[in-house]
């Protein structure tokens, strides 16, 4: 049942309506990846139609398509190499030309490369920076520009990391980009919160995905992660379903420029 808020300004939405995404459209980068797929499906289950920006012949495309269909939602696919900024901007132009009206951006494309600091090549530095940081910036910029043009509120959900806060070793390029995503989130929010555009980010801990397979297959390292994590286990992609719905829905309308850490308690230890 709806209730009167503390300011006496009328009826509040029910809790069910507060978290509903019915009638919304979510644009996703990285929506076929480990974390991205789980979160994109969650958005569809909550009521959103999905627009997926993905590479040509993405091997996991069918998984997203089947899941969205099962939810009874619409899926539109646009192909782009997010590492190529002109290609990504052109992709957004095609999305707008197709009549898509934006509500939510899930900015989830990301990669990692591992090496000692002194051994990182330009190729690997450029790959990590172009996808993790610049593509995230460009996608948020293009999405935000459209919302401003339409005078429309919206939600931008970036994906940072606990490595935004701790440096770790052998992932210096990744650490730089994820620190950048955290600061990008704050800076964009400062400019857009007054326009009704909520910019926030999720900071995953150690999660079982294809990106972390080199670690999850290592029994010694797995023991290290479990011992380090108060929750006593690796995180799973499904652990992000609730937080992405919160940040995409009306439930987070006064949450601006912040990060939500989903790490089983590592940063608190």
Residue 83 three-state SS: coil
Residues labelled as active-site residues: 174
Name the token pair of 263: 């790490």
Burial class (CB in 10 A: 0-12, 13-18, 19+), 73: buried
Say if CB 13 and CB 2 are below 8 A apart: yes
Q: What share of the chain is helix, strand, coil (3-state, %, to 5)?
A: 50, 15, 35
What are 252-263's pLDDT values in tens digits? 999 999 999 999
Say if CB 156 and CB 197 are below 8 A apart: yes
Reply yes or no on whether the pLDDT at 7 is more than 80: no
More confident residue, 135 or 9: 135
Reply yes or no on whether the pLDDT at 4 is more than 70: no
Cα 230 to Cα 263: distance, rounded to the nearest angstrom: 9
Q: Give residue 10's pLDDT.
A: 62
Residue 84 has phi, psi (to 5 degrees) of -100, 100
Reply yes or no on whether the pLDDT at 156 is more than 70: yes
Cα 85 to Cα 153: distance, rounded to the nearest angstrom: 25
What are 62-73's pLDDT values in tens digits? 999 999 999 999
Q: CA 6, 12, 15, 21 torsion: positive or negative?
A: negative
Name the token pair of 231: 């929750």
Strands (E), 41-131: 49-54, 75-79, 104-107
Q: Give residue 3's pLDDT.
A: 47
Name the residue with tokens 């931008």: 156
Q: Quote the crossing angle between the two packed helices 241-248 and 34-45, to the nearest 10°.
A: 60
Reply yes or no on whether the pLDDT at 50 is more than 90: yes
Reply yes or no on whether the pLDDT at 238 is more than 50: yes
- Read off the pLDDT band of 9 (50, 70, 90): low
For residue 4, how many other CB atoms are within 10 A of its CB? 10
Reply yes or no on whether the pLDDT at 1 is more than 60: no
Q: Give residue 210's pLDDT.
A: 83
Say if CB 240 and CB 39 are below 8 A apart: yes
Q: Give residue 5's pLDDT.
A: 52
Reply yes or no on whether the pLDDT at 227 is more than 50: yes
Cα 37 to Cα 218: distance, rounded to the nearest angstrom: 24
What does pLDDT average to over the chain? 95
Which pTM value belongs to this model?
0.94
- DSSP for 219-239 reads HHHHHHHHHH-TT-S-B-GGG
Residue 240 three-state SS: helix
């Amino acid at each position: 049942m709806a209730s009167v808020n503390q300011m006496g300004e009328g009826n509040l939405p029910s809790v069910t309506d507060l978290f509903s995404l019915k009638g919304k459209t979510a644009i996703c980068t990285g929506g076929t990846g480990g974390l991205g797929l789980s979160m994109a499906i969650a958005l569809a289950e909550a009521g959103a139609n999905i627009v997926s920006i993905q590479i040509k012949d993405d091997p996991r495309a069918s998984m997203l398509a089947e899941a969205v269909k099962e939810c009874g939602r619409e899926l539109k696919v646009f192909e782009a190499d997010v590492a190529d900024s002109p290609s990504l901007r052109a992709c957004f132009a095609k999305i707008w030309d197709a009549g898509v009206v934006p509500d939510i951006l899930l900015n989830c494309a990301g990669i990692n490369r591992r090496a000692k600091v002194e051994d990182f090549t330009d190729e690997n530095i450029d790959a990590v920076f172009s996808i993790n940081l610049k593509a995230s910036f460009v996608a948020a910029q293009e999405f935000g520009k459209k919302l401003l043009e339409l005078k429309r509120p919206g939600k931008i959900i970036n994906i940072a990391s606990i490595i935004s806060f701790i440096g770790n070793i052998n992932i210096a390029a990744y650490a730089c980009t994820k620190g950048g995503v955290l600061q990008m989130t704050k800076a964009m929010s400062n400019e857009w919160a007054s326009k009704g555009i909520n910019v926030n980010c999720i900071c995953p801990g150690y999660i079982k995905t294809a990106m972390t397979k080199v670690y999850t297959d290592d029994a010694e390292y797995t023991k290290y992660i479990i011992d380090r994590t108060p929750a006593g286990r690796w995180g799973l992609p499904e652990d992000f379903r609730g937080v992405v719905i919160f940040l995409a829905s009306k439930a987070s309308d006064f949450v601006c420029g912040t990060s939500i850490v989903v790490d089983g308690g590592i940063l608190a230890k």
